[in-house]
């Protein structure tokens, strides 16, 4: 058990190093600041005091950047290892394939979570400084569900990285994640107004695709709505765990079948 | 080839300078007809209008606590805005008139979904609880949250009169910041000198908010002048509304003839308009007062 945890820890550390060495965070942080600082400094019609629009843009950027980071981290865990053949010494350690998969998954997931946590802290500092409360309960809930979304996004891109090429993976993952995030909740209405083959396809997508829109509490955070009920939170967290587990099971199957 | 590059570059520069010089010489009447605005207006004219309308809609979403119109009225069958008392105040231009039933149906649908059990549709159950669809409005000073969006709307398209009007309404009617409302209207009128609607709005601010009837009367008289011979429905209505205010001021002065004249003109312009009915009623009352 200790060996397993040490192996897992080493793999997680590698993923962290990968994120922070590449300075992706610095890039997205600079981009976010370049967009948000002028917005926050605006005085529309010469009046100050409105901050929801900055909060909405900031939250949108946090979601965008964190999902991009999660997808990219998940997608680049295995392909470079296969290309540079460093997977051989890794598996010859000996480290089991499932340990490698789990370690890389946890590493990518926790690295994405750490970046997102940093974004949320900055967001809370901004909101707190404008008098909207530093860490309201709904922001904590939003963070928890955001972490759930990252868990599913990393699992999805990691699974696809074992099945298709890197560029195809990035494209498919982005379509699945952002497509469901934006239109997931509207698929039933779209299906109702579609001809039969499209209706069946949309119903199938609605039933099996990961529903990223379930993790989106931006509306509640930005417009200061009440918290979500504990029961609902538990259901959504359970959904994320099930989704991630299902995707990782497929990934394990693909990794086991893969000749290295 | 590398040695030829400066020659090619100089030739290209000379050609573009010659073209620019030649273009300057073309008489203005023979040049392509553009709106003549700034670069953004020329390059993104249509996009700016679309962006402006989107910002006005976004302000409406903010007014309703971030809930989209279609979510509010998803099962109401119309999705064209809401018709509760506060919303009628907010959408006072009548574009959402006749949607009272939609509001009730939406409330009913939202209540129905809240009551829906998990097993009758787990995804819908989660969705309806994560994304709120309840009905809520921004009130008082919180209404300032709509101002940046309306500002963006008028910055994107300065001819969007309803955005100027909406911004002034939010400032005066909701934030109670009358100076801000007058500043917005002054800017809007400067950008749209023919917009009688904005002048009428300024009259409202003077009359209802600042209780300055002399200034209000001046504004309403200006509206009547601006809409002389108006044929489109919007201008006719603005004219009748302004005449109703002028009639009211005339009635206070005991000038029954002026009230009668306004009522007659309103009857001629739009006999079915609610404002006309009010004017006719006022004329009848003034006549009775005079008879006494």
Q: How near does any CA of chain B get to the CA of A50, in Å?
A: 5
Q: Which of A71, A157, A73 is nearest to A107 (CA)?
A: A73
Inter-chain CB proximity A222 and B152 less than 8 Å: no
Q: How near does any CA of chain A get to the CA of B248, in Å?
A: 33
Q: What percent of chain B has pLDDT over 70?
A: 74
Number of domains in chain A: 1
Inter-chain CB proximity B145 and A206 less than 8 Å: no
Is the model's pLDDT at B50 over the cut of 50? yes
Inter-chain CB proximity B141 and A49 less than 8 Å: yes
d(CA A133, CA B161): 36
Comparing B103-117, B206-220, B222-236, B257-271, the range with the smallest average pLDDT is B103-117
- Give the A-side interface with B, CB within 8 Å: 42, 44-47, 49-53, 145, 185, 188, 206, 211, 213-214, 216-217, 219-220, 222-223, 225, 228-229, 232, 235-236, 239
Domain hosting A44: range is 2-257
pLDDT the model gives residue B39: 62
Q: Which of A142, A167, A169, A172 is nearest to A60 (CA)?
A: A142
CB A255 within 8 A of CB A97: yes
What is the average pLDDT across B196-215?
95
d(CA A162, CA A187): 28
**Closest A-chain CA to B58:** A53
Inter-chain CB proximity A217 and B130 less than 8 Å: yes
CB count within 10 Å of CB A78 equals 22
- Considering CB atoms only, which of B67, B118, B129 is closest to A228? B129
d(CA A40, CA A126): 10
- Considering CB atoms only, which of A51, A223, A232 is closest to B126? A232
Whether the complex's predicted ipTM surpasses the cut of 0.95: no
Token pair, residue B216, equals 């209000």
What is the average pLDDT across B10-22?
77
Comparing A43-57, A230-244, B96-110, B238-252, the range with the smallest average pLDDT is B96-110
Give whole-number Cα distances, B144 to A67, B167, B176, in Å. Answer: 31, 10, 10
d(CA B67, CA B21): 54
Q: Which of A170, A157, A15, A168 is nearest to A81 (CA)?
A: A15
- Considering CB atoms only, which of B130, B144, B150 is closest to A214? B130
Q: pLDDT tens for chain A, 260 residues: list them.
A: 788 888 888 888 888 887 788 887 888 888 888 888 888 888 999 888 888 999 999 999 999 999 999 999 999 989 988 888 888 887 876 788 888 999 999 999 999 999 999 999 999 998 898 888 889 999 999 999 999 999 999 999 999 999 999 999 999 999 999 999 999 988 998 898 889 889 999 999 999 999 999 999 999 999 989 999 999 999 999 999 999 999 999 999 999 888 76
Inter-chain CB proximity A223 and B130 less than 8 Å: no
Token pair, residue B214, equals 């002399």
- DSSP 8-state class, residue B29: G
Is the model's pLDDT at B263 over the cut of 60? yes
Token pair, residue B177, equals 């910041």
Every domain of chain B and the residues it spans: 194-292
Q: How near does any CA of chain B get to the CA of A65, in Å?
A: 22
- Considering CB atoms only, which of A50, A219, A232 is closest to B144? A50
Is the model's pLDDT at B43 over the cut of 80? no
> 3-state SS of chain A: helix, strand, coil percent to 5?
80, 0, 20
Q: Which residues contact A63 (CB under 8 A, 6 or more apart)?
A: A146, A181, A216, A218
The number of CA neighbours under 13 Å toward the Cβ of B23 is 8
Give whole-number Cα distances, B228 to A47, A68, B197, B235, B272, in Å. Answer: 36, 59, 14, 9, 20
pLDDT the model gives residue B26: 63
Q: Which residues of A touch B130 (CB under 8 A)?
A: 145, 213-214, 216-217, 228, 232, 236
Is the model's pLDDT at B75 over the cut of 60? no
Inter-chain CB proximity A46 and B183 less than 8 Å: yes
CB count within 10 Å of CB B129 equals 21
Residue B88's pLDDT band (boundaries 50, 70, 90)?
very low
d(CA B159, CA A250): 56
CB A169 within 8 A of CB A161: yes
B194-292 topology per CATH: 1.25.40
pLDDT the model gives residue B77: 37
d(CA B250, CA B268): 20
Residue B95's pLDDT band (boundaries 50, 70, 90)?
very low
- DSSP 8-state class, residue B172: I
Phi and psi at A86, nearest 5°, equal -75, -10
Q: Which residues contact B139 (CB under 8 A, 6 or more apart)?
A: B174
End-to-end CA distance of chain A: 26
Residue B162's pLDDT band (boundaries 50, 70, 90)?
very high
- Considering CB atoms only, which of B65, B129, B148 is closest to A229? B129
Chain mean pLDDT for chain B: 81
d(CA A162, CA B23): 59
Comparing A206-210, B35-39, B159-163, B283-287, the range with the smallest average pLDDT is B35-39
pLDDT the model gives residue B291: 76
CB count within 10 Å of CB B146 equals 30
Token pair, residue A92, equals 């010859």
pLDDT the model gives residue A133: 83
- Considering CB atoms only, which of A47, A51, A211 is closest to B123? A211
Inter-chain CB proximity A45 and B62 less than 8 Å: no
């Amino acid at each position: 058990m200790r060996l397993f945890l040490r192996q897992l820890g080493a793999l997680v550390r590698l993923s962290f190093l990968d994120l922070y060495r590449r300075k992706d965070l610095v890039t997205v942080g600079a981009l976010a600041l370049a967009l948000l600082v002028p917005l926050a400094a605006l005085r529309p019609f010469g009046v100050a005091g409105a901050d929801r629009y900055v909060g909405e843009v900031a939250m949108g950027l946090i979601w965008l950047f964190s999902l991009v980071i999660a997808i990219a981290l998940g997608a680049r865990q295995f392909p470079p290892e296969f290309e540079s053949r460093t997977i051989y010494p890794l598996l010859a350690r000996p480290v089991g394939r499932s340990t490698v998969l789990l370690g890389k998954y946890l590493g990518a997931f926790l690295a994405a979570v750490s970046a997102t946590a940093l974004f949320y802290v900055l967001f809370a500092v901004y909101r707190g400084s404008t008098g909207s409360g530093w860490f309201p309960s709904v922001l904590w809930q939003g963070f928890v569900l955001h972490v759930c979304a990252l868990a599913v996004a990393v699992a999805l891109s990691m699974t696809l990285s074992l099945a298709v090429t890197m560029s195809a993976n990035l494209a498919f993952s982005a379509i699945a994640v952002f497509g469901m995030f934006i239109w997931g909740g509207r698929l039933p209405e779209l299906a109702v107004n579609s001809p039969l083959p499209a209706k069946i396809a949309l119903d199938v997508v609605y039933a099996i695709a990961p529903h990223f829109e379930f993790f989106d509490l931006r509306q509640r955070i930005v417009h200061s709505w009440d918290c979500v009920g504990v029961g609902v939170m538990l259901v959504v967290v359970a959904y994320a765990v099930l989704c991630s587990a299902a995707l990782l099971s497929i990934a394990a199957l693909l990794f086991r079948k893969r000749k290295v | 080839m590398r040695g030829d590059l400066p020659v090619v570059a100089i030739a290209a520069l000379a050609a573009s300078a010659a073209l620019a010089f030649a273009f300057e010489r073309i008489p203005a009447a023979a040049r392509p007809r553009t709106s003549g605005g700034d670069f953004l207006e020329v390059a993104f004219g249509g996009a700016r209008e679309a962006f402006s309308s989107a910002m006005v809609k976004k302000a409406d979403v903010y007014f309703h606590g971030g809930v989209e119109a279609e979510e509010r009225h998803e099962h109401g069958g119309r999705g064209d805005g809401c018709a509760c008392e506060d919303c009628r105040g907010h959408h006072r231009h009548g574009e959402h008139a006749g949607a009272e039933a939609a509001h009730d149906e939406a409330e009913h649908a939202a209540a129905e979904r809240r009551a829906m059990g998990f097993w009758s549709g787990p995804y819908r159950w989660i969705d309806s609880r994560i994304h709120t669809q309840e009905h809520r409005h921004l009130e008082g000073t919180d209404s300032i949250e709509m101002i940046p969006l309306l500002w963006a709307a008028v910055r994107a398209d300065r001819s969007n009169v309803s955005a100027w009007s909406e911004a002034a309404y939010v400032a005066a009617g909701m934030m109670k910041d009358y100076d801000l409302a007058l500043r917005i209207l002054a800017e809007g009128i400067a950008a749209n000198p023919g917009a009688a609607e904005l002048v009428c709005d300024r009259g409202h601010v003077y009359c209802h908010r600042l209780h300055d009837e002399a200034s209000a009367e001046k504004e309403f008289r200006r509206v009547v002048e601006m809409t002389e011979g108006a044929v489109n429905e919007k201008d006719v209505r603005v004219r009748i509304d302004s005449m109703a205010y002028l009639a009211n001021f005339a009635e206070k002065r005991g000038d029954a003839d002026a009230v009668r004249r306004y009522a007659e003109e309103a009857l001629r312009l739009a006999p079915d308009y609610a404002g006309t009915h009010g004017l006719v009623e006022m004329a009848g009352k003034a006549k009775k007062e005079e008879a006494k």
